[in-house]
């Protein structure tokens, strides 16, 4: 960024903020279509078994019930709900409804009725007979010889193996002064978006299926629906209304096939909206993980060999298990100049709710164990954790290992140490002693995440930009803004390029009949890919404006410049408004000013962050209070400072819950024990500490205006920073998150 930008680098509220705070905006759950019915799913009450029969007779007698669909009368065509594009070849183990249920909450049918309460009553009247089978919930148990196979003859419990290697790892361990080997566990957690999953399906007499649905990927959902129901894509329309959060849970087709099946049977619109308790068990979760970390170091703290071995609990279906493992495979390599590294991950099927994408997409499960072990190693070597990391981190513009553009992890650590006041806090704790009932600890951790899926998928998006008669614009974008101001950043970029204000551009988002193709909004590709696309479409519009204005002024297009406020200027001082240019184009050339442009990611880049936490631990109660927090992130250049700060603070909140309170807890029958907001302990606003943030702004040439993304990286270092602070307070290493009070009490009792 050259410092001369008008809009880029400032802080602007999300473009639809006023509509949201006034309640004018209509989310999918607010929508009511004429004659609309309400759907309720029939969910399995057993963890594993064959559905022998479903008796719907009593439910059918209930006034208001208009359609019932089950696993016996809907397509039994296997698919993968995470399918991103038409030729996406990933294991297909799911069906609309399951004839063999594989977790408590697996869907076996659905009811549509005139009222949601009637639909719920009808579900209670339906009798399901199961032939139960043995169930397995632990990944280690699922891999043992003789373990029950969830998809026998299709795919084994060990879905596949993802490997990544650098150097000679075995030789590195042999040369190390000390080798550490530890096992860690991270929990199954829920994305907990404020808006539950909800879809509305219509199926008209012409055979067109239309979905209004809370999704991050309209094109992926259309692919699934077209495939499952044998419909041409031209007859499947998927529209994304405003999203009330997603965090990865709304990438796959979850409710959409259910709503479609009901609408096709009832020949009326059907809304399927989950309550929170069903959202927990009938959608997707973050993968739980068992992670073995082995690290060989020299006595001065130089890491010479590092190995990470992961068992991912992918739950009942393959879904994104292989994708998440693949995404993890290179993240641990990106920050470090460790010469010898090895990564292995195996997604494992179990009889738990299906795991999928969640903010970080494998990075939290990777960096929490790694950074917790690094904290232990630094302590045992008598080194400060900051110094230990800096010794092993990539230098800027490092190309010896994995080229990542302009990596700044060292800056994040060094600046964060200062911002947090690490040395002063450390000395104060040492001077006060730390062996009483109330103890303090400080911890820090590093994390990283990619910017898109360059090299893995076709990482592109198309835009259409149309000028209106008055010189304002409409943008047709395949983007799904999830409350993260992504579309706002696109409007800022277009406004920057065209000399107008973002308010002069009205977006239309994610409608498969209207907007161009987009891979979907995930993998932190928002700023890095789609804002670059916005720049490109604006530049295409600029060329069209100059072509039309050249005729108006009778000069060469090369002699024109854009002025402020939507104007075109000549070298001799004449000017015209965009409106005047468009009118000229209409009258003289009979042409509209509409441009289409696609942009594909040109590089794989990495964002880095270092987080620092101070905690207080009550040894009697086990309660942990986070007292202070600091986070420093390498973002290339800031695009929208307001959204940067919001994304970082939200990511920290998610990571604190991961560290201290959140996990989905199942009984020995696979039933979720904490399926309410009261029992599922998220971090509340009142639990949050003061947070200091700082951004390292070192230009990234391949990013828009030099920028990189922050969305997922914001949550990656948070949990290990807090866990390491608790470990410091306790004076002992930890191997499991979340670190709940009962765990601390059990440790101190020993």
- Are 574 and 651 in a shared domain? no
pLDDT at residue 747, rounded to an integer: 81
Claim to verify: residue 239 and residue 202 sit in the same structural domain: yes
For 279, the 3-state DSSP assignment is: helix
Averaged pLDDT, 188-208: 97
Q: Which residues pair with 288 in a beta bridge?
A: 313
533 and 611: one domain? Answer: no
Of the candidates 213, 247, 282, which is a domain's last residue?
A: 282
- Residue 183 CA to residue 188 CA, distance in Å, equals 17
Residue 239 structure tokens: 């529209």
Q: Which pTM value belongs to this model? A: 0.96
Lookup: tokens for 127: 């009798």
- Identify whether 646 is part of a domain: yes
Least confident of 246-250, 328-332, 496-500: 328-332
Residue 320 in any domain: the answer is no
Residues 6+ apart with CB under 8 A from 428: none
- Do 462 and 511 fall into the same domain? yes
What CATH number does residue 425 fall under? 3.30.365.10
In a domain, 350, yes or no: no
C-alpha to C-alpha distance for 215 and 251, rounded to whole angstroms: 6
In this structure, the answer to whether residues 463 and 516 fall within a common structural domain is yes
Instruction: Place 729 in a pLDDT band, splitting at 50, 70 and 90.
Output: very high
In a domain, 360, yes or no: no
The string of pLDDT tens digits covering residues 649-695 is 999 999 999 999 999 999 999 999 999 999 999 999 999 999 999 99
pLDDT of 394 higher than 80: yes
Confidence bin at 403 (pLDDT 50/70/90): low
pLDDT digits (tens, 9 = 90+) for 511-548: 999 999 999 898 889 899 999 999 999 999 999 999 99
Strands laid side by side in the 473-477 sheet? 505-509, 473-477, 460-467, 594-600
If you average pLDDT over residues 220-228, what whole number do you get? 97
Percentage of the chain beyond pLDDT 70 is 99
pLDDT at 3: 54
Q: 207 and 276: one domain? A: yes
Average pLDDT, the chain: 95
Point out which residues pair with 614 in neighbouring strands. Answer: 442, 628
Q: Is pLDDT at 1 greater than 60 in this prediction? A: no
Residue 192 in tokens: 């907990």
Which pair of tokens denotes residue 652?
Answer: 């920290």
pLDDT band at residue 750 using 50, 70 and 90 as cut-offs: low
pLDDT tens-digit profile of 452-468? 888 788 889 999 999 99
CATH number, domain with residue 228: 3.90.1170.50
CB 494 within 8 A of CB 488: no
Domain assignment present for residue 198? The answer is yes
621: number of Cβ within 10 Å: 11
User: What's the pLDDT tens digit per position in 707-725?
Assistant: 999 999 999 999 999 999 9
- Do 460 and 444 belong together in one domain? no
Residues 114 and 257 grouped into a single domain? yes
State both tokens at 370.
């790694």
In a domain, 639, yes or no: yes
85 occurs within a structural domain? yes
Beta bridge partners of 169: none
Confidence check: pLDDT of 226 > 70: yes
Q: Prior bond to 529 cis, omega within 30?
A: no
Could you report the per-residue pLDDT of 163-178, keeping only the tens digit for each? 999 999 999 999 999 9
Cα separation, 583 vs 570, in Å, equals 18
pLDDT at 749: 65
**Phi/psi of residue 598, nearest 5 degrees:** -115, 150
Among 38-52, 631-645, 736-750, name the one with the lowest average pLDDT: 736-750
Residues 391 and 446 in one domain: yes
State CA 569 to chain mean position distance. 44
From 247, 282, 317, give the residue that closes a domain: 282
The verdict on 486 and 625 lying in the same domain is: no
| pLDDT tens digits, 119-159 | 999 999 999 999 999 999 999 999 999 999 999 999 999 99
- What is the rounded average pLDDT of the residues 626-643? 97
The yes-or-no verdict on residue 698 having pLDDT over 80 is yes
Q: Are residues 466 and 436 in the same domain?
A: no
The pLDDT of 494-516, averaged and rounded, is: 97
Confirm whether 86 is domain-assigned: yes
Provide the residue range defining the domain that includes 493: 17-24+455-600
Say how far apart CA 689 and CA 619 lie, in whole Å: 20
Q: Which of 543, 568, 600 lies at the terminal end of a domain, its last residue? A: 600
Q: Are residues 466 and 610 in the same domain?
A: no
Number of independent structural domains in the chain? 3
């Amino acid at each position: 960024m050259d410092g001369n930008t008008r809009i880029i680098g400032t802080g602007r509220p999300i473009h639809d903020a006023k509509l949201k705070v006034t309640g004018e905006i209509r989310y999918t759950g607010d929508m009511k279509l004429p004659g609309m019915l309400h759907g309720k799913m029939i969910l399995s009450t057993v963890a594993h078994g064959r559905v022998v029969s479903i008796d719907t007779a009593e439910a059918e007698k209930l006034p208001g019930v208009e359609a019932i669909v089950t696993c016996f009368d809907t397509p039994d065509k296997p698919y993968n709900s995470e399918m991103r594009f038409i030729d996406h070849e990933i294991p297909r183990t799911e069906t609309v409804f399951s004839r063999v249920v594989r977790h408590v909450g697996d869907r076996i049918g659905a009811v549509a009725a005139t009222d949601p309460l009637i639909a719920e009553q009808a579900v209670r009247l339906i009798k399901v007979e199961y032939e139960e089978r043995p169930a397995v919930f632990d990944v280690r148990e699922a891999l043992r010889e003789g373990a029950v196979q969830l998809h026998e003859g299709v795919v084994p419990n060990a879905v596949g193996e993802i490997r990544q290697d650098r150097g000679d790892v075995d030789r590195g361990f042999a040369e190390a002064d000390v080798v550490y080997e530890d096992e860690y566990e991270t929990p199954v957690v829920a994305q907990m978006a404020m808006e539950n999953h909800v879809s509305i399906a219509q199926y008209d007499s012409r055979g067109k299926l239309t979905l209004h649905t809370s999704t991050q990927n309209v094109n992926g959902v259309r692919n699934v629906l077209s495939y499952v129901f044998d419909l041409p894509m031209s007859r499947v329309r998927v529209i994304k209304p405003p999203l009330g959060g997603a965090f990865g849970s709304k990438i796959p087709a979850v409710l959409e096939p259910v709503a479609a099946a009901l609408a096709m049977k009832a020949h009326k619109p059907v809304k399927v909206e989950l309550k929170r308790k069903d959202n927990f068990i009938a959608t997707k979760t973050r993968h739980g993980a068992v992670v073995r970390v082995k690290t060989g170091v020299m006595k001065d703290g130089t890491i010479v060999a590092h190995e990470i071995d992961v068992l991912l609990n992918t739950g009942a279906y393959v879904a994104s298990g292989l994708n998440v493992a693949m995404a993890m495979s290179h993240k641990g390599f990106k920050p470090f100049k460790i010469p010898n590294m090895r990564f292995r991950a195996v997604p494992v099927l179990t009889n738990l709710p299906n795991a999928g994408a969640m903010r970080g997409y494998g990075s939290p499960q990777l960096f929490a164990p790694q950074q917790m072990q690094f904290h232990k190693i630094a302590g045992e070597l008598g080194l400060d954790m900051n110094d230990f990391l800096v010794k092993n981190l990539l230098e800027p513009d490092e190309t010896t290992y994995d080229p990542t553009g302009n990596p700044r992890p060292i800056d994040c650590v060094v600046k964060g140490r200062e911002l947090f006041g690490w040395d002063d806090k450390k000395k104060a704790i040492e001077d006060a002693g730390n062996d009483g009932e109330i103890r303090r600890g400080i911890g820090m951790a590093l994390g990283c995440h990619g910017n898109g899926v360059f090299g893995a998928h076709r990482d592109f998006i198309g835009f259409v930009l149309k000028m209106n008669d008055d010189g304002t614009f409409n943008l047709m974008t395949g983007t799904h803004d999830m409350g993260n101001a992504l579309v706002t950043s696109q409007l800022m970029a277009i406004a920057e390029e065209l000399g107008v204000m973002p308010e002069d551009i009205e977006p239309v988002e994610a409608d498969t009949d209207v907007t161009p193709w987009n891979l979907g909004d995930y993998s932190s590709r928002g700023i890095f890919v789609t804002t670059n696309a916005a720049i490109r479409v604006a530049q295409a519009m600029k060329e069209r404006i100059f072509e039309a204005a050249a005729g108006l002024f009778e000069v060469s297009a090369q002699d024109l410049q854009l002025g402020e406020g939507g104007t075109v200027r000549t070298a001799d001082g004449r000017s015209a408004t965009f409106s005047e240019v468009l009118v000229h184009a209409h009258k003289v050339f009979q042409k509209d000013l509409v441009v289409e442009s696609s942009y594909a990611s040109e590089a794989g880049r990495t964002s880095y962050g270092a987080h620092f936490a101070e905690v207080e631990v009550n040894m009697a109660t086990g309660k942990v209070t986070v007292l202070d927090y600091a986070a420093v992130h390498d973002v290339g250049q800031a695009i929208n400072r307001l959204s940067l700060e919001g994304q970082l603070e939200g990511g920290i909140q998610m990571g604190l819950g991961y560290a201290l309170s959140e996990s989905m807890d199942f009984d020995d029958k696979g039933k979720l024990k904490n399926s309410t907001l009261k029992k599922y302990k998220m971090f509340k606003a009142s639990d949050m500490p003061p947070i200091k943030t700082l951004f390292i702004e070192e230009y990234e040439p391949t990013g828009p205006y030099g920028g990189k993304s922050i969305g997922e990286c914001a949550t990656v270092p948070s949990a290990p920073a807090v866990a390491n602070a608790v470990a410091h307070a306790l004076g002992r290493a930890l191997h499991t998150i979340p670190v709940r009070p009962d765990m601390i009490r059990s440790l101190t009792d020993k």
